[in-house]
Structure 1
C-alpha cells in the first residue's frame, strides 16, 4: 500500500534526542509462550485457542474484550497446549483462567505436562485455582517442545485467557538469517540505501520511538468517521491494535541483542469531530474535539512525537506520559492503507469488521512502513515471491518480512548503544 507521509525518510530535518535504556532487559528469563503454536482438545466455535498466548494480560477472568479459549459445552478433562519448533528451557508457568460466571468456570483442578519425546509427563508443583489473577507454578528446569495445561472441569466447562511459559530467552548476539535469504536481504538493504539518501539520518522510525520510551509505545486514535463508538468498541479497537503491533515485536524477541521481551502499547487519546460520538464518560483516554488537520480530527500537536521529535512535550496537557508516538487514523470509506513514522491509516469499516481476525493484514503492512520497511511495487528480491510488504501477495508476517524487519535493527542498533 502506498505510504502517504510528508515526513518519511528525511523530509523532516529535526534530529531527536533519545534516552538510551539504562540496561538491556534481563537476559535470564522471558515469557516464551508467544513464539509457540497453540492447540486444544476442543474449542467452542465462537472462541479462539490463539487467545492463550497472544500476550494480552486479561483485566479479569470474565474478559469481554479480548479473545478467550473456552470449551463449552464440553466437560471433563480438557487441555490446551503450546508447541515450539525447537526445545525450550522452562522453569515456571502462569495460567489465567476464563470464568464467565455461567457456562465456563475455573477448573476443579489442573496440572502441567511436558512432552518427553514419546509421552506426556506431569510436572510436580503446587497448583492454585484462583479467578482474576495469574496462577503460578514453579518446577525444576525442563527442556521440552510442548507444554500442556490439563484442566479438570468442576461445575461447568473450562477455559483459559492466557498462558505464560517462563524460561531462558535464548538471546542471540549476532546476525544469522537462513542461507536462502542472505541474497534477497542484501538486495533489499542496498535498494533502500540507494533510494533514501537520509535513511540513516532520519530519527523518527518506530525503532526510535520505542527506544525513547525505554520499551513502550503510545498511540492516539483519529476517528475520521461519523459513526458512534461505545466503550466496548473502544476497548476492542485498543486490544486489536495491541495484538497486531505485538506481532512485529514478537519477531524481535531474543534476537540480536534486542533489549525488550515485550513492548507494551497504550492508547492515550482519541480525536473526534463531535464529542457525542464517543459514548463513554470515563477518563481512561484523553479526548480531543474539533482539532482538524488534513481534514480529519487529531490529538493535540503538543502531545505528538511527529511534531516534537526532540522527545519533550512541555505543552502537552497531562504531561509527557500523555504523549503519543503514532496515530491509528481510521477513515470512513477508505480502501487500502497508508503508513509512516506518524502512524497508520486505514478504513474504519475494514478495521472494525476485522477486530477478531488473527491478522489485520493492511494494518500489519502499514506498521511495517512505520519501522522503515519499503514497498515492492516494481521489483521482487531474488528467490522470494510472496510476503506481507509486497502488497497483495501475503496476509501475514512471513519469514522474509521478519528477517527484513530484523535487518533494520541490525543496521540501526548502534545508534542506541547496542
Structure 2
C-alpha cells in the first residue's frame, strides 16, 4: 500500500561497535536456518528455536532475543540441528549464552555428526574456542549428514547457546558475493524499466534524504524503532521481546541482500526498539526501563512516539529536545493497528495489523512487513504494471511471500544510484 510522505514515503545490531556479533567473515551459505532444532533439555522459559533463528546476539547475555539454556541442568547437554536431506558441511560457528549467573560458557564443547547409525565427532578440528560476546568458529573435515550436534560440557554453571551456524565451505575461504553491478542477464531489461519508471514518476527521487539508506548511514550502521501500539490489547514483557525479535529478523532479510555487494560497508545493521507508544500505560505489562514509554500522545488518531525523538520530524539528525538525547531517538515507527488490513510503508516506518503481526511472531517471512520495509528503502509498488518477464515478487503485493531474486536486484539498484551520497 502506498502512503506518500514528502516524496516516496509509501514506496511500502552498529557494525564495529563493541559487543555486536560478527558472523564468520565472507560466509553466505549458512545451512543452519533450514534445519529443525532440538535439545537434550530446555528451560521452560527459553527456546531451542533460538539456536538457528538467524538473529545475531548483541552480547552473550542478550536479554532481548530468545535463547536456549539448560538451567538448572548441568553435565553434558546438546543442541541438535536436523535436516530433511543430507547436507555437506565443512565448518560451523556458535555463540554461547552466558548471563554471568546460572548459565555460563561450557568447560568444553565439540561437534558431532550422524553417520546413519550413530553420532561421531567431526575430525580435523584444531581447537574448540570458548569465548563470550563473539562467535566461536571451527573448520573440520567435510561430512555429509542429516544431523549436526553441538555437545556442551558444563563448567561453572548450566550451559546455553544463542546461535549456531553451519556452512558448506570452510570459514574464511568462501568466495565473496559479487562486488559490482552485475545482475543476471534476464533481469537487466526489467531492472532498467523499473528505474526509468521511478525517475519519471518521482520528481524528487535523488533529492529526498530520509530513505532507510540515509537513516542507516546517519547512525553509522544501525536502526532504532519505536512501536506505536494502536490497539486496546495488553502486551507482556515476553511479547514485547518477541515483537522486537521478529522486527529484527525481517529487517535483516533486506540487509543480507546487500552484504558484500558493490561496496556496501555493513555486515550487519542491528535493529533496536527504543520506545513504545500506547494510550494507557497499564496495557504494557512490564515495569523495567528498557524502552521509553509514550502515553496518550495522540496523532493520526493513534498513539504517537515523541516527535522530538523521531527522525521523520528531525531529519537533520539532531535531537536537542529528545529526553535522553540522540541515543533515545527512533528512525522509524512500527505502527501496529488493531483490525488494519494490508499495510503501508515509507520513510516514517511501517504500518500493519497488530493481530496479523502477533500471529506471525515465529514466522520465517512476515510478508506484509517485508513489503512495507521495501518501501522504506524506496522500492516502488506495482499495482498497474509489471516489468518485462517478471511475475511474482514481494514488491508486487500479493504475488510472493518472501524476498525474491528480482526484489534483491531492485534493492541493489537503489544502492547503485545513491551510494555516491556517502562516498562509495
Same-fold call, TM > 0.5? yes
Aligned to 2:324: 318
The answer to whether the 8 Å contact 2:226/2:275 transfers is yes
Q: Is the alpha carbon distance of 1:62 and 1:220 closer, same or farther for their aligned partners in structure 2, counting shifts above 3 Å? A: closer
Task: Map residues 365-376 of structure 1 onto 2, 5 A cutoff.
Answer: 365-376=371-382
Q: Structure 1: which 5+ runs fail to align? A: 12-20, 22-26, 100-104, 114-119
Instruction: Identify the residue that residue 150 of structure 2 maps to in structure 1.
Output: 151
1:271-310 to structure 2, matched below 5 A, reads 271-310=277-316
> 2 CA distance for matches of 1:392 and 1:144?
40
Compared CA separation, residues 391 and 160, structure 1 to 2 (3 A): same
Does 2:128 correspond to 1:127? yes
Deviation, structure 1 residue 225: 0.8
The answer to whether residue 49 in structure 2 is matched with residue 54 in structure 1 is no
Distance 1:288 1:300, change over 3 A: same
Do the aligned residues in 1 keep the contact of 2:215 with 2:331 (CA within 8 Å)?
A: yes
| Equivalent residues of 1:210, 1:217 under 8 A apart | yes
CA contact (8 A) 1:65 1:236 kept: yes
What is the CA-CA distance between 1:8 and the residue it aligns to?
A: 3.4
Q: CA deviation at 1:378?
A: 0.8
Q: Report matched runs for 1:117-266 at 5 Å.
A: 122-127=123-128, 136-137=136-137, 149-152=148-151, 161-164=162-165, 167=172, 170=176, 172-266=178-272
After TM superposition, give the deviation of residue 291 of structure 1 in Å: 1.1
RMSD: 4.2
> Does the 8 Å CA contact 2:68/2:97 hold for their aligned counterparts?
no
Shift of 1:125: 2.5
Shift in Å, 1:137: 4.2
Identify the residue that residue 409 of structure 1 maps to in structure 2: 415
Deviations 1:22-75 (A, max 9, x none): xxxxx996262675453448648x9776852603317768989537699xxxx9
> Structure 1 residues 39, 356: CA separation in 2 closer, same or farther (over 3 Å shift)?
closer
> What's the counterpart of residue 15 of structure 1?
none
Give the drift of 1:4: 2.0
Work out which of the residue numbers 381, 386, 404 in structure 2 matches 1:380.
386
Report matched runs for 1:27-42 at 5 Å.
Answer: 30=25, 32=27, 35-36=30-31, 38-40=33-35
Determine helix, strand or coil for the equivalent of 2:226. Answer: strand
Q: In the alignment, is the contact (CA less than 8 A) between 2:82 and 2:148 conserved in 1?
A: yes
TM-fit CA distance, 1:257? 0.6
Does the alignment pair 1:397 with 2:403? yes
Structure 1 residue 262: Cα displacement: 0.2
Distance 1:50 1:396 in 2: 21
Return the match for 1:333 from 336, 339, 348: 339
Residue 304 (structure 1) shift: 0.6
Aligned residues: 385
Cα distance change of structure 1 residues 265 and 145 upon mapping to structure 2, 3 Å threshold: farther
Given the superposition, is the C-alpha separation of residues 246 and 393 from structure 1 closer, same or farther in structure 2, using an over 3 Å criterion? same
Show the counterpart of 2:66.
66
Contact between 1:111 and 1:123, CA under 8 Å: does it hold in 2? no
Give, in angstroms, the shift of residue 363 of structure 1. 0.4
How does the TM-score come out when normalised to structure 2? 0.77
Q: Flag the 1:93–1:112 CA change in 2: closer, same or farther, 3 A.
A: farther
Aligned partners of 1:62, 1:259: CA distance in 2, in Å? Answer: 25
Q: CA deviation at 1:274?
A: 1.0
1:111 and 1:201, CA in 2 relative to 1: closer, same or farther beyond 3 A? same
Q: How does 1:56-95 map to 2 (within 5 A)?
A: 56-57=56-57, 66=66, 79-80=80-81, 93-95=93-95
Cα deviations by residue, 1:253-307 (Å, 9 ceiling, x for unpaired): 1111100000001111111111111111111011111211111111111111101
Displacement, 1:106? 7.2
Looking at structure 2, the residues matched to 308 and 280 of structure 1 have their Cα atoms a distance apart, in angstroms, of 29
CA spacing shift, 1:210–1:147, aligned 2, 3 Å: farther
Deviation at 1:178, TM superposition (A): 0.8
Matched, 1:111 2:111: yes
CA distance in 1, matches of 2:412, 2:142: 27
2:102 alignment counterpart:
none
Deviation for aligned residue 1:210: 0.2
Q: Tell me what 1:102 maps to.
A: none
Contact kept, 8 Å, 2:111 with 2:122, in 1: the verdict is: no
Offset at 1:134? 5.5
CA-CA distance at 1:127 after TM superposition: 2.5
**CA drift at 1:3:** 1.9
